[in-house]
Amino acid sequence: MGARQTGRLNARRDDRRDLVALVHDAAVRRILVGYDGSEGARRALDRAVDEARDSRGRIVVLSVANLPLSPDGPRHFGTLDDISAREGAALSPPPDVVAQLTEARNVLAAAGHDAELSWAAGEPAQAIVETAVRIRAEVIVLGEHHHGFLSSLSARTSRPRCSALPAAT
């Protein structure tokens, strides 16, 4: 077999591997957990672990710093000389969000899961929906104190196959 034929054969093998990896990635169930450190959120994390175990899913934990104003939006208040030196710099998570994500990571590590940890600033329901759309989540697991959000979720998301699960009580 000549060098050209060997090269084509290797290229086809690489293409097949890429296709298998793509199909595997698409087949992995993505589970989003809204986590705020509360008892309900801990139960939601446990429920997500069960879901991931049953479906070989990938868990993404989201903690949201509830801010009344969008940190990314334009500001129309103050004076021209009161701009911070940090203006335009990347936001870093507040200490309570770091603590929540660290706690979630430790719980998941003890259960044998390596989850993706994420945070957002803003209105929690909106951040959860935006993250679910971005990661193509199939399941969102929330603590039971978010029942009002669960009922409005289908109206907010463009992902009709995404279902919301309350934490086990």
pLDDT digits (tens, 9 = 90+) for 8-57: 555 566 666 655 444 444 457 899 999 999 999 999 999 999 999 888 89
Q: Return the biggest CA–CA distance within the chain.
A: 75
Calpha distance 29→118 (Å, rounded): 17
Per residue in 90-136, pLDDT (tens digit) is 778 899 999 999 999 999 999 999 889 999 988 888 899 899 999 99
pTM above 0.75, yes or no: no
CA distances (Å), origin 134, targets 51, 94, 125: 20, 22, 14
Confidence bin at 137 (pLDDT 50/70/90): very high
**Greater pLDDT, 48 or 168:** 48
**Residue 24: its pLDDT value, please?**
44
**Residue 18: its pLDDT value, please?**
55
What per-residue string of b and e applies to 108-119 under the rule 16 or more CB within 10 Å gives b? Answer: beebebebebbb
